[in-house]
């Protein structure tokens, strides 16, 4: 464990700061950037109001949050943990399943281990300082996560915790076991006259390291390979190692009986130590001092433990092997005091002490500031919350939006992931489990995602539609529609308007369609107009276009009687836009032919004449409201109306 983490300091040189009245300001830019800029003050330094008349050019610097989670070698930590997180939430919400918190905790730790191995593979020579720091951060995180698991998720009958602490230490401090394997596996040492303790200079350090981790069997095996293993001191030591009683919560041996046996065993070993049996070999004598729990061995244990975690467990093995969890706090504070003053405690020390003190709430709050961008606090707090180890804070005003630390961490972490160009989909997963507040944030964040490809748009719309975020669907479709319109792809823009059910944008596009029809006499993208779908219900403009196209088809198909009925309906409905009225009125010419057939009654003809008068009046008030060609057609329309009236009157007279 590294004692300190060094952070880079960013210097921002700017000649503006020579002036005493210039101060640095910052504001959020986007979702994860900060804009830094100098501003001249209008008053004393304490006055936060900047001067508006300062015309001096200033530098604007964008600062973007850097995190190891966005590094390609660490990104699997995000992707794989997202799957475990989602599986955990589904399992918890399924009444037919039981949630095994320990199982999920180990899955998270396995992901951490895999990530550390991936970093090692890409930094074999340890030359990349960034990856070295990433590995240290992840290793420390794995250490503290495992400690939390051991103390709060592993169920131990009677709360005798030492065996679990030994497993914790062996996994994270495996140097002694690895060195022992090197010694044992190197058979060359046993086929020559070379002494094993001389061939391997770390022999005694390895033996002591194993003893301090309670790995007595492996330590005994090393002693048996010593060149003096057949001498009386080593024979006694090996016998003592072999007879050491071990405690198991599932072994059926009561604590009181085990304690009696252990003290008897230790008393026997201590009597041999005091008799000086082991003095012939100082290293062996030191080992036996540790075994016997001799107070003089404290400094020896300290010198062989790189951290106070190791020191804590090493002492407990031979002084209080049946220690209960509630007693660990005192031992932990004594152990850390052997290494640092309280003012020297680093972040990892305070996290571990909170766990030993039983202060889970304080632990999860401190974990929030661990430099992993909230990964650990989010997942571990969620796990502890789901297994009822921590509860929402009490006694806080209801005005506070979210007093549940679990949901707050999910919200922060999900929002953070949404800032990344490819990890934003994982962020959606976490925001989904933030009750109502998460949906509001998700709606805003999805809308802010850059539309950089059709694939991303498709994914955004998929997530938004599945969660009924109709405002997101509408805004994204409108943005895509505007982009299409800028490329003169009006049909494509209409498709986006239809998909987003955007009546206002559809109305604008409908106006473009109608104005283009006025100019060219035909509609662009007729296939799309034939399949408008539900947009005709919500948009008056396309309701008119739909009916107008239907009218044209009837007229072209020589179904003039049906076309006339629809034509009158269009005039009567008032959904025809002002600029299109003259165009619609000139269509009356379609009903004038040589057969002298009249498809309108007197009331219909009166309506046509009234609409024509209104359209002419409007065109006189606004010269740009109608095309000059259409105005020239007015006389033809008037003649047609007169003809229709005469045909209608003649027919009426004939009927009479």
**pLDDT tens readout for residues 87-124:** 999 888 776 665 688 999 999 999 999 999 999 998 88
Distance of CA 210 to the CA centre of its chain: 41
Strand order through the sheet with 33-40? 22-29, 33-40, 61-64
**pLDDT tens readout for residues 421-446:** 889 999 999 999 987 788 889 999 99
Return d(Cα 231, Cα 221) in angstroms, integer. Answer: 15
User: pLDDT tier at 394 (50, 70, 90 boundaries)?
Assistant: very low
212 and 290 in contact (C-beta within 8 Å)? yes
Q: Which residues lie below 8 Å from residue 358, measured CB to CB, with a gap of 6+?
A: 326, 329
Distance of CA 581 to the CA centre of its chain: 55
Tokens of 655: 């009927």
**pLDDT tens readout for residues 264-296:** 999 999 999 999 999 999 999 999 999 999 988
Cα dihedral 457, 458, 463, 469, rounded to 10, equals 60
User: pLDDT tier at 192 (50, 70, 90 boundaries)?
Assistant: low
Q: Does 403 score more than 80 pLDDT?
A: no
> What are φ and ψ of residue 594, in 5° steps?
-75, -15
| Of residues 309, 303, 280, the one with CA closest to residue 290 | 303
Q: Tell me what the mean pLDDT of segment 473-479 comes to.
A: 92
145 and 376 in contact (C-beta within 8 Å)? yes
Q: Which residues lie below 8 Å from residue 201, measured CB to CB, with a gap of 6+?
A: none
Return d(Cα 357, Cα 326) in angstroms, integer. Answer: 8
**pLDDT tens readout for residues 594-616:** 566 777 888 888 888 888 887 77
Q: Does 516 score more than 90 pLDDT?
A: no
Question: What interhelical angle do 347-357 and 328-337 show, nearest 10?
Answer: 160
**pLDDT tens readout for residues 612-633:** 887 777 766 655 545 566 666 7
Residue 169's pLDDT is 95
How does 102-130 read in b/e, with b if 16+ C-beta sit within 10 Å? eebbebbbebbeebbebbeeebeeeeeee
Tokens of 498: 């239809």
Cα dihedral 434, 435, 437, 443, rounded to 10, equals 80
User: pLDDT tier at 48 (50, 70, 90 boundaries)?
Assistant: very low
Question: What interhelical angle do 375-386 and 360-367 show, nearest 10?
Answer: 150
Identity of the highest mean pLDDT range in 53-57, 114-118, 446-450? 114-118
DSSP line for 275-329: TTTTTTSHHHHHHHHHHTT-GGGHHHHHHT-SSHHHHHHHHHHHH-TT-BGGGHH
Tokens of 281: 């070999």
Tokens of 22: 């210039």
Residue 400's pLDDT is 40
pTM over 0.75: yes
């Amino acid at each position: 464990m590294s004692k300190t983490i060094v952070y880079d300091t960013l210097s921002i040189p700017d000649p503006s700061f020579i002036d005493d009245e210039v101060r640095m300001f910052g504001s959020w830019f986007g979702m994860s950037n900060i804009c830094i800029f100098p501003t001249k003050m209008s008053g004393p330094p304490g006055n936060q109001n900047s001067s508006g008349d300062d015309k001096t050019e200033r530098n604007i610097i964008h600062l973007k949050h850097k995190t190891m989670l966005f590094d390609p070698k660490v990104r699997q930590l995000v992707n794989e943990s997202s799957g475990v997180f989602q599986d955990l939430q589904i399992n918890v919400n399924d009444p037919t399943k039981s949630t095994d918190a320990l199982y999920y905790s180990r899955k998270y730790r396995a992901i951490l281990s895999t990530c550390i191995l991936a970093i090692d593979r890409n930094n074999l020579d340890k030359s990349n300082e960034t990856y070295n720091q990433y590995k240290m951060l992840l290793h420390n995180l794995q250490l503290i996560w495992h400690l939390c698991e051991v103390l709060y998720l592993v169920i131990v009958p009677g709360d005798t915790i030492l065996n679990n602490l030994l497993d914790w230490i062996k996994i994270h401090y495996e140097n002694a076991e690895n060195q022992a394997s090197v010694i044992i596996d190197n058979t060359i040492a046993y086929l020559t006259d070379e002494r094993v303790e001389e061939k391997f200079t770390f022999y005694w350090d390895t033996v002591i390291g194993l003893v301090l981790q309670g790995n007595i069997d492996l330590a005994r095996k090393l002693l048996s390979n010593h060149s003096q293993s057949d001498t009386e001191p080593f024979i006694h030591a090996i016998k003592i190692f072999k007879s050491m009683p071990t405690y198991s919560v599932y072994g059926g041996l009561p604590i009181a009986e085990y304690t009696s046996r252990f003290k008897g065993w230790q008393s026997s070993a201590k009597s041999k130590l005091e008799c000086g049996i082991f003095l012939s070999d100082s290293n062996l004598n030191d080992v036996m001092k540790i075994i016997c729990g001799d107070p003089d061995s404290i400094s020896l244990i300290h010198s062989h433990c790189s951290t106070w975690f190791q020191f804590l467990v090493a002492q407990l093995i031979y002084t209080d092997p049946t220690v209960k969890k509630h007693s660990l706090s005192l031992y932990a504070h004594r152990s850390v005091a052997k290494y640092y003053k309280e003012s020297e405690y680093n972040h990892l020390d305070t996290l571990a002490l909170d766990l030993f003190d039983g202060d889970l709430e304080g632990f999860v709050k401190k974990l929030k500031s661990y430099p992993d961008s909230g990964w650990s606090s989010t997942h571990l707090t969620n796990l502890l919350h789901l297994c009822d180890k921590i509860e929402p804070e009490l006694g806080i005003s209801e005005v506070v939006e979210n007093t549940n630390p679990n949901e707050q961490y999910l919200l922060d972490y999900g929002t953070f992931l949404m800032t990344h160009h490819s990890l934003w989909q994982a962020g959606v997963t976490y925001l989904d489990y933030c009750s109502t507040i998460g949906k509001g944030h998700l709606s805003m964040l999805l809308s802010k995602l850059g539309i950089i490809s059709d694939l991303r748009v498709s994914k955004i719309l998929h997530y938004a539609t599945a969660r009924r975020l109709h405002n997101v669907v509408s805004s994204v479709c409108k943005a895509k529609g505007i982009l299409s319109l800028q490329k003169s792809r009006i049909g494509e823009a209409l498709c986006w308007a239809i998909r987003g059910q955007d009546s206002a944008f559809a109305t604008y596009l409908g106006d473009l369609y109608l104005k283009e029809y006025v100019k060219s006499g035909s509609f662009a993208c007729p296939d799309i107009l034939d399949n408008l779908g539900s947009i005709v219900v919500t948009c008056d403009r396309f309701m008119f276009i739909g009916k107008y196209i239907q009218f044209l088809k009837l007229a072209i198909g020589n179904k003039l009687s049906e076309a006339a009925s629809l034509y009158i309906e269009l005039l009567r409905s008032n959904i025809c836009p002002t600029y299109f009225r003259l165009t619609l009125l000139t269509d009356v010419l379609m009903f004038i032919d040589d057969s002298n057939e009249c498809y309108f009654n007197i009331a219909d003809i009166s309506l046509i004449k009234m609409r024509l008068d209104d359209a002419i009046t409007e065109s006189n008030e606004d010269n740009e409201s109608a095309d000059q060609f259409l105005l020239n057609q007015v006389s033809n329309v008037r003649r047609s109306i007169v003809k229709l009236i005469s045909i209608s009157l003649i027919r009426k007279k004939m009927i009479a």
